[in-house]
Structure 1
Amino acid sequence: MTPAVTIAICTRDRARILAETLTHLRATVGEAPDAVEVLLVDNGSSDATPEVASRFADWPAFRSVTEPRPGLSHARNRALAASAAEWLLYLDDDAFVWPGWLDALRGAIAREGVVLIGGPIEPRFEAPPPAWFDPASVRRTFGPEGPLSDAAAREGFSGGNLGVRRSALEAVGGFDGRLGMIAGTLGLGEETELAGRLVDWFGNATWHAPAMGVDHLEPAWKQTPRYVARRAFVNGRQAWRYVGGGRGRKAGFSALKAAKQAGTGLLRLPLAVVRPGALHGALKGLATGAGAAVGVVRAARSSGTASGDA
């Protein structure tokens, strides 16, 4: 029987945490959940990931495939190609689903006309965060149950707990392979870019299911000023991609974002002297602004090159 839902877990060189995630998922959703399969996509791992997959070969709901091209977006598109299910639910390889997650998922996909669903993501800290780190920065919440606002629909949901209707994902061409994590290189924005294309094709066809939540591992190495700044910079640098219209409009949006974020960061910086928690917001604002400024320059150069070739 063709499953209604494929729970797709894309992974690369994360054998230890993958084993924990699969064990938790198996205990939560059961051995053979009705019309549901669990599909592991190994994105070219060089560690013990194949051995971990083999340990779950006796799980009736489980199977695995490989995607040799490095990149999370390629792995997600491999899941689309390997599945015949009506819905693809993408789950991070370090996400523990909540009790009732599967029931909430089934309720969301039963909504007529919906093509994109998501749920909250709460941090599961590997170690207590330092005083300057804002725990709220790694929480993903989307308001009450129901469709997102029209503006929020273009940003979509976080990819660690994201469902997409197969026909819609195929119609827009899947995930953009140029975006997202590629091997060990930090990349962001593939889910937001996809959400924008889905809105262009289908309008606001989103559904937020608050009970469809996960606890996402936040390792200690991500709670450093260097990582926070790097992630914010990358996010700011590609912000112009998320806006519709011509390249000039995108560059203009990115310029405004650069000015706003940098200004916010500068205003928060003095507060860090008396309130350590303000350092996180200041650092994030400055780095996002710097990244957005780089995005403006790149967009302008690209536009100039295109004009010169015309």
Structure 2
Amino acid sequence: MQRVSCVHTQILEIGQPGNGAVTAITFFRGQLFVGYFNGTIRAWDIKGQRAVIIREVKEHKKAVTCFALSETGQNLLSGSADKSIRVWKMAQRKLECVEVFQIKEAVQKFDIYGDKIIVLTHKNVLKFSCSARSTQTFYKSKHVKSLALSQGKAYLGCGDLSIQELDVSVESKIEIRAPTRSWRISKQPINSIVVYKDWMYCAGSQVEGSAMKDWKKRCKPTMTMSMPKGTNVEAMAVVEDFIYLTCNKSPSVIQIWLREKQQKVGRLPAGSKITSLFTANDIIFCGTETGLIKAWIPL
């Protein structure tokens, strides 16, 4: 069996003060796009370990909370606490806002499937139709905390530890994990859901994972990673051999866990509280409350 190297090398550290915390990160058209607490969006051109700001816009009135790419990859969408989702395109090497969708509530996270946008807000799950400009509300009483979208289905982690599946096209709803009602189990909500390859992982007071087909059969999770008492996972990313976690007890550190062995093998210091986590091309990125962006790659 091949031994997995757990060593990570830092390959990037960029940032300029003045815009507040980094609240969203993504890649679009080969450039690193970063959203900030004050509503600014910046694009960085990355060359090796150097980065240059090549675009900056500020059209959101409040924090940029999330990004998503259109299915064609031609447009970047940004969600914000100002209750809007903006659609951006590159026009003559400039970032131009071509459409604005007004949402009823502050946008915490969203994802796209065809003409539909599934939006997670503080209170509800909304399905927004771009063509009809109409909104439907789901799971009003579930206190949904996390969202992942895969193959036309939205997976929603709830405050009662249940996981809901919503088929975006036909609006069928299935509960693939029942609520936890035992007083002995700490009721930390599912703060993060990640679909990686054919597995789904959920994280709160512990991390659980199974093949998607086993979740749908409501089998016991194949893997469980227990956290120390009082520790709650706030964000999670999964890449190849690793699961990356940020937790309430050590908010300025990314924990590195081996995915197959469920073993903690290292940590990545961010320097201050981590406010955004993102992965691309086996690289793990984080943004901090001081406006710094760091990135590491496993060797």
Q: TM-score range by the shorter chain?
A: under 0.3
TM-score by length of 1: 0.25
- Larger-Rg structure: 1
Higher relative CO (Cα under 8 Å, sequence separation at least 6) belongs to: 1
Q: Which has the higher strand share?
A: 2
